[in-house]
Protein backbone atom coordinates (compact mmCIF):
# COMPACT_ATOMS: atom_id res chain seq x y z
CA UNK A 1 0.00 0.00 0.00
CA UNK A 2 1.07 3.59 -0.54
CA UNK A 3 1.27 6.49 1.90
CA UNK A 4 -1.46 8.04 -0.17
CA UNK A 5 -3.83 5.31 0.98
CA UNK A 6 -3.05 5.68 4.69
CA UNK A 7 -5.27 7.25 7.33
CA UNK A 8 -2.29 9.15 8.74
CA UNK A 9 -1.19 10.70 5.45
CA UNK A 10 -1.47 14.50 5.34
CA UNK A 11 -1.07 15.67 1.75
CA UNK A 12 0.61 19.03 1.26
CA UNK A 13 0.26 18.72 -2.50
CA UNK A 14 -0.46 16.12 -5.16
CA UNK A 15 3.08 14.76 -4.95
CA UNK A 16 3.85 14.60 -1.25
CA UNK A 17 2.86 15.24 2.31
CA UNK A 18 3.70 14.26 5.84
CA UNK A 19 2.83 11.57 8.33
CA UNK A 20 0.38 12.82 10.93
CA UNK A 21 1.99 10.61 13.55
CA UNK A 22 5.68 11.42 13.31
CA UNK A 23 5.63 14.53 11.04
CA UNK A 24 8.14 13.07 8.58
CA UNK A 25 7.96 14.17 4.95
CA UNK A 26 6.78 11.41 2.64
CA UNK A 27 5.94 10.96 -1.02
CA UNK A 28 2.34 10.11 -1.82
CA UNK A 29 3.24 7.19 -4.05
CA UNK A 30 5.95 5.59 -1.92
CA UNK A 31 5.22 2.39 -0.06
CA UNK A 32 3.68 2.83 3.36
CA UNK A 33 5.22 1.82 6.68
CA UNK A 34 4.21 -0.76 9.30
CA UNK A 35 1.88 1.71 11.04
CA UNK A 36 -0.34 1.85 7.95
CA UNK A 37 -4.06 2.10 8.53
CA UNK A 38 -6.52 2.22 5.69
CA UNK A 39 -7.77 5.70 4.82
CA UNK A 40 -11.52 6.15 4.59
CA UNK A 41 -12.05 6.20 0.82
CA UNK A 42 -15.04 5.43 -1.37
CA UNK A 43 -13.52 2.22 -2.66
CA UNK A 44 -13.58 0.80 0.87
CA UNK A 45 -17.27 1.60 1.30
CA UNK A 46 -20.01 -0.99 0.94
CA UNK A 47 -22.10 1.54 -0.96
CA UNK A 48 -19.52 1.77 -3.72
CA UNK A 49 -19.50 -0.43 -6.85
CA UNK A 50 -17.02 -0.22 -9.69
CA UNK A 51 -18.29 0.49 -13.19
CA UNK A 52 -14.80 0.81 -14.68
CA UNK A 53 -11.24 0.95 -13.39
CA UNK A 54 -11.50 4.60 -12.29
CA UNK A 55 -15.22 5.14 -11.81
CA UNK A 56 -18.14 3.61 -10.04
CA UNK A 57 -21.45 4.27 -8.40
CA UNK A 58 -22.51 5.16 -4.88
CA UNK A 59 -25.62 3.45 -3.55
CA UNK A 60 -26.28 2.34 -7.11
CA UNK A 61 -27.54 5.73 -8.20
CA UNK A 62 -24.81 8.34 -8.01
CA UNK A 63 -21.64 8.47 -10.07
CA UNK A 64 -18.64 8.11 -7.80
CA UNK A 65 -14.93 7.46 -7.95
CA UNK A 66 -12.93 5.03 -5.88
CA UNK A 67 -10.12 7.29 -4.69
CA UNK A 68 -12.25 10.00 -3.12
CA UNK A 69 -11.79 10.67 0.57
CA UNK A 70 -14.88 9.67 2.47
CA UNK A 71 -13.83 10.90 5.90
CA UNK A 72 -16.65 13.45 5.90
CA UNK A 73 -19.28 11.19 4.29
CA UNK A 74 -22.12 10.25 6.62
CA UNK A 75 -23.09 7.33 4.39
CA UNK A 76 -19.68 5.66 4.60
CA UNK A 77 -20.20 2.03 5.53
CA UNK A 78 -17.76 -0.84 5.98
Annotate 41-61 with b (16+ C-beta within 10 A) or e (fewer): bbbebebbeeeeeeebebeee
Q: Is 13 in the site for another protein (CB under 8 A)?
A: yes
- Out of 37, 38, 71, 77, which residue is the one contacting another protein (CB under 8 A)? 71
At closest approach, how far in Å is the CB of 20 from another protein? 6
What is the distance between the alpha carbons of residues 49 and 65, in angstroms, rounded to a whole number? 9
> Are 65 and 54 a contacting pair, CB within 8 Å?
yes
CB of 46 vs another protein, minimal distance in Å: 18
Among 37, 49, 50, 55, binds another protein (CB under 8 A): 55
Minimum distance from residue 22 beta carbon to another protein (Å): 9
Amino acid sequence: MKHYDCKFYLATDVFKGMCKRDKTSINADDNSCQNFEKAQKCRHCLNFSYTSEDLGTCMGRYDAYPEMNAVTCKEFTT
